[in-house]
């Protein structure tokens, strides 16, 4: 590989993939600062405006199971380009929408299409690289991806200073055009025709069934989803936690998000630095343990008079996020390596599990536990504890299988030619 080609694959490609993966979460919270203006223009209250988020998330989850398997059948680039193209049209539709029902239609279309970029982009690094290099690049993507929840509201606020709320959706459309250009001219097709599955409904859905029936996928997938779900408790319940529990103002959300996201980015950086030096299994174990310790620390602090005071109230969730940053990129690679012919289906199904869990958390759990710091902390500890148990269960079965294989090898030696 020439120096120029090496720079393209180690710098440009990860940057493009990170932007593609950001578009999903970035589209969720960028409109938040515009809610008051949107409410006045569309003559609706805050409760109705919450549908702008709910409809987007529901549509994203619904379509998330199909983007990956489609990319296994037709290639990565067509799904990413097609998805982002529809996203651009949907964003322009949001610009011209003159009523809430019409705006919700285009937000649903945004959600249905954004996964083409967010989900499929995660498979490309493993298509291109393996071993420590794949882990380093996956961690770089995770670092940039982690910026999306923090950058979105800030950028939305800046755009509101320059024009009306429609400018936010116009910016999303322009970002989509930039991403299409980047995929066309900077990103190679990483899933060649000879490795693709037939483009038939049975074959595409069969990939999901093939992945979903394997216990290894569920043990690793649920470990990831549950531990990140503990962190999502604070994301989904930020309005309750920051304003009601901590008594902060409506402009003080950064006091939660900056330490939490900064910790996750630090963990992703440490994951990249550990590539080739620490085994994947040990690295994930360290990350899971760090998150579990964060859950325990969160409960201990919440049970004291410091539980609703800054900065002590966010120490636990910051440690949970740190552990997530360490383990998440490696978890992704382990899942992709387990199903090399069905990488798109793996990412789609794992994303769907996480989205469903996060939706249940936001709708059913946060309203119940959101009245106190201790409620948040206990629920988070249950999440990281369940995730830790899933990972420990997987490691125990893996050790048992290795022991059985070694025993069989000793009793039935293979004859060398």
- How do the domains of the chain map onto residue ranges? 1-196, 210-406
pLDDT value at residue 299: 92
8 Å CB contact between 91 and 110: yes
Taking Cα atoms as reference points, which of 378, 388, 42, 44 lies closest to residue 233?
378
pLDDT value at residue 406: 55
pLDDT value at residue 89: 95
pLDDT tens-place string over residues 226-266: 988 888 888 777 767 877 788 877 667 778 878 888 898 88
386 C-beta neighbours (distance < 10 Å), count = 17
Residue listed under structure tokens 């069934």: 209
The class of domain 1-196 in CATH terms is mainly alpha
Run of H or E including 171: helix 166-186
Give the residue ranges of the chain where pLDDT is below 50: 1-4, 410-417
What CATH number belongs to 210-406? 1.20.1250.20
- Residue 119, helix vs strand vs coil: coil
Q: Which positions ≥6 away from 138 have C-beta within 8 Å?
A: 125, 126, 271, 329, 330, 332, 333
Q: Which positions ≥6 away from 309 have C-beta within 8 Å?
A: 246
8 Å CB contact between 155 and 30: yes
d(CA 89, CA 372): 42
pLDDT value at residue 92: 95
The pTM of the full predicted model, rounded to 2 decimals, is 0.76
d(CA 102, CA 105): 5
pLDDT value at residue 90: 94
pLDDT value at residue 184: 87
8 Å CB contact between 59 and 212: no
């Amino acid at each position: 590989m020439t120096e120029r080609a090496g720079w393209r694959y180690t710098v440009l490609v990860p940057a493009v993939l990170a932007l593609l993966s950001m578009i999903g979460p970035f589209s969720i919270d960028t409109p938040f600062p515009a809610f008051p203006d949107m409410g006045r223009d569309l003559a609706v209250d805050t409760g109705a405006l919450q549908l702008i988020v709910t409809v987007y998330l529901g549509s994203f989850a619904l379509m998330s199971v199909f983007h990956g398997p489609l990319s296994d059948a037709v290639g990565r680039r067509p799904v990413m380009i097609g998805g982002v193209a529809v996203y651009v049209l949907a964003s322009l539709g949001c610009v011209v929408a003159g009523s809430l029902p019409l705006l919700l239609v285009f937000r649903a279309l945004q959600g249905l299409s954004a996964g083409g970029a967010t989900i499929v982009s995660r498979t490309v690094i493993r298509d291109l690289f393996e071993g420590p290099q794949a882990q380093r690049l996956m961690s770089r993507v995770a670092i940039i991806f982690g910026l999306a929840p923090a950058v979105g509201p800030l950028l939305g606020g800046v755009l509101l200073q320059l024009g009306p709320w429609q400018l936010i959706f116009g910016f999303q459309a322009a970002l989509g055009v930039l991403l299409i250009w980047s995929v066309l001219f900077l990103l190679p097709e990483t899933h060649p025709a000879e490795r693709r599955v037939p483009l038939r409904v049975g074959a595409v859905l069969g990939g999901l069934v093939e992945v979903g029936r394997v216990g290894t996928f569920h043990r690793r997938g649920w470990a990831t989803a549950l531990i990140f779900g503990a962190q999502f408790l604070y994301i989904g319940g930020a309005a309750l936690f920051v304003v009601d529990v901590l008594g902060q103002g409506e402009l003080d959300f950064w006091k939660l998000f900056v330490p939490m996201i900064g910790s996750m980015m630090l963990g992703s950086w440490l994951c990249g630095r550990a590539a080739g030096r620490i085994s994947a299994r040990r690295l994930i174990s360290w990350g899971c343990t760090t998150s579990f310790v964060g859950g325990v620390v969160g409960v201990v602090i919440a049970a004291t008079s410091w539980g609703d005071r800054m900065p002590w109230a966010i120490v636990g969730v910051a440690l949970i996020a740190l552990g997530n940053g360490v383990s998440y990129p490696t978890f992704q690679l382990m899942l992709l390596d387990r199903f090399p012919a069905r990488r798109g289906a793996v990412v789609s199904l794992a994303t769907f599990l996480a989205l469903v869990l996060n939706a249940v958390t936001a709708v059913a759990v946060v309203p119940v536990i959101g009245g106190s710091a201790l409620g948040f902390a206990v629920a988070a500890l249950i999440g990281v504890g369940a995730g830790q148990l899933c990972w420990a269960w997987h490691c125990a079965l893996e050790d048992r299988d290795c022991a059985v294989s070694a025993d069989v090898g000793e009793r039935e030696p293979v004859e060398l030619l």
